[in-house]
Amino acid sequence: MEKLAVVALGGNALLRDNEEGTIEQQELNATETVENLIHLIKDGYELVITHGNGPQVGNILMRNDAGEKMYQIAPMPLDICVADSQGGIGYMIERIVRNVLNKYGIRKNVITMVTLVEVDKNDPAFKNPSKRIGKTYTKKEAERLSQEKNWIFKSSSKVKDGYQRVVPSPAPIEIINKETIELLVNNGNIVIAAGGGGIPVYYDEEGNVRTLDAVIDKDRASGLLAKNICADELYILTDVSFIYKDYGLPTQEKLEFLNYADTMKYLDAGTFAEGTMEPKIRACLDFIKSGGKKSVITEAKQLEDKSYGSKITMEYD
């Protein structure tokens, strides 16, 4: 094996903001993204692919709500909804990866793994739920659900006078399936894992696996997975080609080559947008600090040019 890379697919890899979200649209977007991964495979990389699930798990929660109201179907808890999204999205990506490999005459096995991720049940995030999930409700609906289900709501970030359920987003501690993932990828298989950040779980006093109503940031989980399986490189694919200082402001500046120390200074100064670029930067820094050789943040279509995108290393190359 020449190099091992974890590649995190951003939300736009499957679903674009202006799209309805049909399976045809998602498959087309996924195919365009996977086509670009061929450049890494041809260069001798073994791959673990991770992905987001934000829109999809939101839709699953909406089906939960509709099924309970209209047909008295028992709603499933959040961990089952995350697992559902991992299986469905992973299957779609796996099938498309297989077809793209076939197109280029590359023979490799591909496997999707529903992935559990350990978190601390006492993580401070549980006292401050902040991750918006699911549909947008009116104030009256939010108040009713808050009383009936003890859900917590905050104002919607997209709909005026709307409210969305918020859940904790604890930091990932360990990828529970890491040994199996590492064994599979080291034997030449492409592995799709840690979808949507993984299913958050914890161990109780007897060592049993227990669930929590929470979601894990996909990029932080991807960085941890890269660390756990001793990957050489971490790629976070998003909708911008580079990291920018003061993105969208008159002082905007492209940051193409970064070392660990300078990136930490930018992060501490609040240079990167919270909730969008900031968790990606943290994931890259955690990976580099743990011994990773290089992290890259860029668009999928730029993978053909290995000099493209923003690159973070411990020291400047």
222: part of which helix (H) or strand (E)?
helix 218-228
- Examine the fold and report which residue of 167, 197, 229 is the final residue of a domain before the chain moves on: 167
Mean pLDDT across the stretch 222-248? Answer: 93
Residue-range definition of the domain harbouring residue 92:
3-120+173-313
Q: 183 and 159 in one domain?
A: no
- 32 lies in the same domain as 146: no
**pLDDT above 70 as % of the chain:** 99
* Position 205 confidence tier, pLDDT thresholds 50, 70, 90: very high
Work out the pLDDT band at 56, boundaries 50, 70, 90: confident
Give the model's pLDDT for residue 189.
Answer: 98
Distance of alpha carbon 81 from alpha carbon 83, whole angstroms: 5
pLDDT, mean of residues 75-101: 97
The total of structural domains in the chain comes to 2
d(CA 152, CA 144): 11
Residue tagged active-site, from 12, 59, 189, 259: 12
Residues 71 and 140 in one domain: no
Residue 218 a catalytic site member: yes
pTM, two decimal places: 0.94
Residue 215 has pLDDT above 60, yes or no: yes
Confidence (pLDDT) at 317 = 64
Write the CATH number for 12: 3.40.1160.10
| Token pair for 189 | 């298989």
Residue recorded with tokens 């709603």: 75
Q: Among 135, 178, 218, 294, which one carries the catalytic annotation?
A: 218
Is 103 found in the same domain as 146? no
Tens digits of residue pLDDT in 149-192: 999 999 987 888 999 999 999 999 999 999 999 999 999 999 99
Q: What tokens were used for 165? A: 């359920």
280 is catalytic: yes
179 in the same domain as 98? yes
* 11 noted as active-site residue: yes
155 and 56 share a domain? no
Candidates 135, 280, 294, 311; catalytic one: 280
Residue range 183-195, pLDDT digits in tens: 999 999 999 999 9
Report pLDDT for 21.
Answer: 83
Say how far apart CA 311 and CA 288 lie, in whole Å: 11
**Residue for token digits 């998003």?**
238
pLDDT of residue 1: 54
Examine the domain organization and report whether 108 and 216 are in the same domain.
yes
Same-domain pairing of 192 and 70: yes
Determine which one of 131, 227, 294, 311 is catalytic: 131
- How far apart, in whole angstroms, are the C-alpha atoms of residue 195 and residue 27? 16
Residue 141's pLDDT is 94
Q: Does one domain contain both 81 and 192?
A: yes
Asked if residue 138 and residue 80 are part of one domain, the reply reads no
Residue 131 known to be catalytic: yes
C-alpha span between 280 and 263 (Å, rounded) = 12
12 assigned to active site = yes
Q: Are residues 150 and 186 in the same domain?
A: no
Q: Is 227 a residue whose pLDDT tops 90?
A: yes
Same domain, yes or no, for 218 and 291? yes
In this model, does residue 114 exceed pLDDT 70?
yes
The rounded mean pLDDT for the chain is 93
